[in-house]
Amino acid sequence: MEELSAVRQAAIAALASAGVPSPGADADLLLCHVLGISRSELKLRELRGDVFQGDQREQFTALVAARRTRIPLQHLTGVAHFRYLELKVGPGVFTPRPETETVVQLGLDFVAAHRIDAPSCIDLCSGSGAIAAALASELPGSRVWAVELSAEAIGYTRANCLPHQVTVLHQDATSLPGEFDASMDLVISNPPYIPPNAIPREAEVRDHDPDMALYGLGEDGLQIPRAISAQAMKLLRPGGYFVMEHAEVQQDSAAAMLREAGFERVAGHKDLTGRARATSGYAPHREAVPPTTHRA
């Protein structure tokens, strides 16, 4: 039997040689998954010189071999961490990214700044349900909806959202029923937005995230985001807030798109790495239309 530290170092070297971007973190997370322990417990066992048992060693070796082929870490463990949540993920659903956490924070900041006690929020193109579940878990008393079209992803949407009392809608996020019009305080979306000729370099994204969650259609990749922006305008009450994630290079076109949809106070936002990550806007305060006067 090998010492845990030796097994860990060998795994890091194997992952690094395969071009895995974060070999140390991935090796640790796979070890924790196999052993059923936390990372702090893993460090403690390594310091004690604990050994690796036979069956667990075989399972870990198989997982490292799979990760070397660039199968996403989250597909191997079945979970993704997002803000304060542990989400269920796997093949067929877009794996939530840390940068989207800042998009959620923009929505939370809006609710806090306007002191909305029981906000109505909706997550369009919800995928795993990460945004909706985060909003529901961090906004006590809120009412949250998650909308997802993919038949492959919807199971994950429900699994992650229903424990937080999120209402899940399996339908097209660009054409919701009129009963939702002017009913939302907050709309957030991380829609597909990659242009057709901008194939992702990362194998984990290119080969394993579903195309339906990646490519936004149209030459600029913004066909679906434009439809989402128009839908958001319909959904928001006067003064409501819309936040949409997009690619760094789409910052200017996203701002123009929101203005064309009628949003006011349009602003761009950067993620924690300093990259342009999202654009937001407010629904206008619509003036009441005076009644038509009929003359005899």
Residues 6+ apart with CB under 8 A from 36: none
Q: Look up tokens 């819309």; give the residue.
A: 242
Looking from the CA of 280 toward its CB, the CA atoms found within 13 Å total 21
> Does the annotation flag 99 for ligand binding?
no
Paired sense of beta strands 184-189 and 167-170, if any: unpaired
Residue 196: which of 223, 224, 211, 215 has the closest Cα?
215
Q: Is 156 annotated as a binding residue?
A: no
- How far is it, in rounded angstroms, from Cα 264 to Cα 262? 7
160 is in an annotated binding site: no
CB neighbours of residue 258 within 10 Å: 26
Q: Which tokens hold the place of 78?
A: 């079945």
Residue 194's nearest CA partner among 249, 123, 154, 124 is 249
Task: Tell me whether residue 86 is annotated as binding.
Answer: no
The answer on whether 193 is annotated among ligand-binding residues is yes
First to last CA, the chain: 99
Binding site listing? 148, 190-193
> Which residues carry a binding-site annotation for S-adenosyl-L-methionine?
148, 190
What residues are designated binding site for substrate? 190-193
